[in-house]
Structure 1
Amino acid sequence: MLRLLRFVAHRFYTTWSTFWFVLPFVVTYPAQWVLRRRPTWHPYLHTLNRGWSIFAIRMWGMPVEVVKKNQPPATQPCLYVANHSSYIDIPLLFKAIPGFINIVGKSSLANVPLWGPIFGSTYITVNRESAVSRGRAMIQAKKSLEAGRSVVIFPEGKISLKPGEEMLPFKDGAFQLAIATGVPIVPVSMPLNHRFMPDVAGTLRVRYSPLRIVLHDPIPTTNLTAADVPALKEQAFRIIASEFRPEAAGIPAPSTLRASGAPANSKPASAETQAVGSQPQFLPNS
């Protein structure tokens, strides 16, 4: 009986959360489609997207803690580097980071029906398997920072197989960009997103879970050179990982009406490492 109630509760909450995420988009879609047509209208489109994110998160009903440490003036463009752990990373970033920000997302987002063309025309998309695409994305991000528009990058490149516990090695691009433009780097920790909506292939799994996002102290990059990239990268990595919680590690198990053993998405550690294609970084508190 308890398993049945848990199964029904999980299905209901997944449906509820999906409904309140999709409805605001459907209602505002005509306005978004119009606003995407001219770059001068994109700040208003981003404001609409931020409102959509805030409303949906509020309707999900769980507490959200936003911590902002010594943030720079609103007129100072920054490069935000965040861990990547869930489908809701972007909505939570839109909620927490003020101003007309830009974000670098995977190119497949631009192929999502209806919403994809809007995202692709307003933000930066990149095919991480293509050197040409990566170079183009960095040029766009540089122009954005030079125009005074902050940029968000996920330096892992993709979601870790153990989000909230282990991060993939950071790539150099974001840190090279910050040094080239002289803008400060703001590390961003989102240690609990994977508990609410994990990246599980072939299924949509939503669980009621508190969320937390921390915008850490800015790291200045003035007077740094390319030789400082490894140290800068390691510094940001450790700051972001400092907010990870051992008790929040792991993906929520699927709800089922049948007794089962290990979760369907569990794999031996060696298989996970092979799937990623590189050795993950192990954190002190993992």
Structure 2
Amino acid sequence: MRQLLRFIGQRLYTTWCTFWFVSPFFYTYPLQWVLARKPSRHPWLHKINRFWSSSAIFMWGMPVRIVRKNQLPAGQPCVYVANHSSYIDIPLLFRTIPGFLNIIGKDTLAKTPLWGPIFGSAYITVNRNSAVSRGRSMVLAKQSLAAGRSVVIFPEGTISEKPGEQMMPFKDGAFQLAIAAGVPLVPVSMPLNHRFMPDVGGLRIRYTPLRIVLHEPIPTQGLTMADVPTLKQRAHDLIANEFQPEAAGLPPAFSWRPTPPTTQATEPQPEQRTNDQAELSLPNS
């Protein structure tokens, strides 16, 4: 009975979170569609996306701890590099990082019904399997920084196979961009997102407090492309140092049926073990 009640509670919470994630978008969709039509309106579109993200996280009822290691440079655009572990990474970044952000996301996001065209018009999309698309995204990102608009990049390029435990190898693009533009690089750790809404088949939502850490900005002025490996390793280490071993791995799927106890194999008796060994030592017929 306890297992069944927990299952029902989990299903109700999943439904609640899904409703409050989807409903603000539908309420604001007509306005988003209008604002997406002209680039001059995109700052207002980003404010709506920030409201959407903040309201959803608030209604989910999860405490979010924001840790800022140092003040961000006032009026200075930055390149933010964050680990990628969950579907809620972008909403949490939008809620936390101030200003009119740009973000580089995979091109499949732009193909999402309704929201996709809006995302594709206001932010940067990239097909990581295409050298042309990757080059285009870096050009647009550099233009964004030159216009005073910070850029968020997931240097892993995809959601980690072991979220909260081990990151995928970092790609060079974000670090080359920061050095070329001469702007600070800000590593961002999100060590618990995968415990709430992991990248798994279906929808698996679990209540869990969240934590996001904005590390101290790393200046890049005076660096050259030869410094990319060192800069990349430094950012990787800062992000990974916030991971929590006890939170590693994905939350298990939940079922209303009790999990059957696992049976352990019995230790063979001495006589049986001897017969088995003798059988294994016989030559093949």
Normalising by structure 1, we get a TM-score of 0.90
SS in 1 for 2:67: strand
CA 1:183–1:261 in structure 2 vs 1: closer, same or farther (change >3 Å)?
A: farther
CA contact (8 A) 2:4 2:257 kept: no
Q: Does 1:101 align with 2:101?
A: yes
Which stretch of the first structure deviates more once superposed, 79-88 or 124-133?
A: 124-133
Equivalent residue letter for 2:165: E
What is residue 82 of structure 2 aligned with on the other side? 82
Query: Residues 62 and 211 of structure 1 are in contact (CA less than 8 Å); yes or no, is this contact kept in structure 2?
Result: yes
Find the aligned partners of 1:190 and 1:149 in 2 and give their Cα distance.
22
List alignment gaps of at least 5 residues for structure 1: 263-286
Structure number with larger C-alpha Rg:
2
Percent pairwise identity? 71
Please give the secondary structure, in 2, of the residue aligned with 1:84. coil
Q: What's the CA shift string for 1:227-278, capped at 9, x where partnerless?
A: 100000000000000100001111000111234589xxxxxxxxxxxxxxxx
Q: Decide whether the 8 Å contact of 2:164 with 2:244 is kept in 1.
A: yes
Q: Give the Cα–Cα distance (whole angstroms) in 2 for the partners of residues 5 and 175 of structure 1.
A: 49
Aligned to 2:67: 67
Conserved 8 A contact 1:186-1:219: yes
Match of 1:272 in 2: none
Shift of 1:73: 2.9
Number of the residue aligned with 1:92: 92
Tell me the equivalent position of 2:245: 246
Q: CA separation in 2, counterparts of 1:260 and 1:118?
A: 44
**Equivalent residue pairs, number:** 261
User: Alignment partner of 1:168: what SS?
Assistant: coil
Let me know the Cα RMSD of the aligned residues.
1.2
Which residues of structure 2 form unaligned runs of 5+? 262-285
More displaced 10-residue stretch of structure 1: 185-194 or 61-70: 61-70
**Residue pairs, 1:129-144, within 5 angstroms:** 129-144=129-144
User: What is the aligned partner in structure 2 of residue 225 from structure 1?
Assistant: 224
Matched-pair contact (CA < 8 Å) for 1:74–1:99: no
1:158 is paired with a residue whose SS is: coil
Distance in 2, Cα, partners of 1:256 & 1:104:
37
Deviation at 1:69, TM superposition (A): 2.0
SS in 2 for 1:229: helix
Asked if 1:22 is matched to 2:12, the reply is no
Structure 1 residue 131 displacement after superposition: 1.0
In the alignment, is the contact (CA less than 8 A) between 1:164 and 1:192 conserved in 2? yes
- After superposition, the C-alpha distances for 1:1-57 in whole angstroms (9 at most, x for unaligned) are 121112111111110000001111000000000000000000000001001110000
Matches within 5 A, 1:181-192: 181-192=181-192
Q: Is the 8 A contact 1:77 1:148 kept in 2?
A: yes
| Cα distance in 1, alignment partners of residues 256 and 70 from structure 2 | 48
**Structure 1 residues 159, 261: closer, same or farther in 2, change over 3 A?**
farther
